Structure 1
């Protein structure tokens, strides 16, 4: 009877924990397809991890309580059925985690594999926006080659359109990181790393350099502005001719910080 009570208590605690984490998962939102895929995986793993944690802790507390006055503990008897059960259960859990993780990591919106990333993923009526992202001490340069627009430290993107970022560096190692959109990749000199995403909500997101790159590293910040498609087209039209001047002004400010570099 006591064992049944403990099992019911553990089940109740697991349900309570699941109810508690649901609002937190919902609050996370998803401002891009990349972020949504990552959060969906996190939630799946959370729903597996919480009941296991509650069960293990319940068994631990029950064992401590039951044998707290036992001054002559005896070794546990061999129980082959129990050993097979927990071995199979562990294998099933690991298999689930592996399959779920692989399915997400194999998505081009999470792991882009090259310049043709997204070609087989996006719908036929969707056009991929290509942006060249160049990191340098201590600022970011964004070039829209097909639109002839260049901008510094502010990456402007449209909603509901696939975006492919070609991230590279002119000097040494940096890292492009926009946590609010679930985006992160290293920027290596002479090498291209690609990110594929689709913004789903307008707003501003903080861009960081996530790899220590010198004395100006903490100031190597940028902004990602996600606008509606109409506003994005208007921005392209306004900056098509003056984009170089805007970029030059921002670059000058960035190089003043870079002058601190030895």
Structure 2
């Protein structure tokens, strides 16, 4: 009875993990790439977990009354098989992770360095200034600056030029899959293309002092017409 209960729990675990493998629609290209990688790794980890657990249950049941245990007999073929299988899994995981890391939205600085330097020339550029303990956003040549509120156009490539006036900070927008450390005396780069209009939260992900926990901002993603109207109003107000 105990064995059946254990197997039943394993089946429930498998069902729960399979449901987790189908997340809600991603809000950006970045997040979609990350979610896809997580799903691929889960599809590998789930059968391995079930195999190990079922093997453990079998061993407990099969040898439960063994009062005279003996060493396992050498089996070179079996050892070669599981070593090769482990190597194949590690190669799959490594290649999958490399493909995501090479994505120009996940690692834009590396992607731009490998091209002619103008790969993102058509992106909307936003200068992000981090300081203890707040955020300032400047929108290219529009002479528009906002604080604690970042507005993005939906379905448009956006490049962030990140700087800090003091210590190390990190821009982190979980729902958009954006995260990048910002180092003093350096200009860092982050990139995204939001696909779902709405409001999201931006955090500092590096401990930067007493006000770190309050160093947040609101990210607003608008469709193109709403973004253009907002930009016109901000430009008029700045003028």
Paired residue for 2:196, among 195, 201, 222? 201
Deviation digits for residues 154-204 of structure 1 (CA, Å, limit 9, x no counterpart): 110000000001111001111110111111011111112211110000011
Paired residue for 1:212, among 207, 210, 234? 207
Alignment of 1:7-86 (within 5 A): 20-86=16-82
Alignment of 1:137-156 (within 5 A): 137-156=132-151
Q: Is the 8 A contact 2:104 2:111 kept in 1?
A: no
Q: Normalising by structure 1, report the TM-score.
A: 0.81
Change (3 A) 1:188 1:242: farther
Displacement of 1:19: 5.0
Change (3 A) 1:203 1:25: farther
Structure 2 Cα separation of the partners of residues 24 and 243 of structure 1: 47
Q: Which runs of 5+ in 1 are unaligned?
A: 1-8, 245-262
Count of residue correspondences: 232
Question: Are positions 1:100 and 2:96 aligned together?
Answer: yes
Q: CA RMSD in A?
A: 2.7
Equivalent residue for 2:235?
240
Range with greater deviation from structure 2 (21-30 or 153-162):
21-30
Q: Is the 8 A contact 1:161 1:199 kept in 2?
A: yes
Structure 2 Cα separation of the partners of residues 49 and 200 of structure 1: 29
Q: Is the 8 A contact 2:21 2:42 kept in 1?
A: no
Displacement of 1:118: 10
Range with greater deviation from structure 2 (39-48 or 137-146):
137-146
Q: Is the 8 A contact 1:205 1:225 kept in 2?
A: yes
Displacement of 1:27: 3.4
Displacement of 1:53: 0.5
Change (3 A) 1:107 1:53: same
Q: Normalising by structure 2, report the TM-score.
A: 0.89
Question: Are positions 1:222 and 2:236 aligned together?
Answer: no
Structure 1 Cα separation of the partners of residues 199 and 226 of structure 2: 14
Displacement of 1:102: 0.5
Q: Helix, strand or coil for the counterpart of 2:109?
A: coil
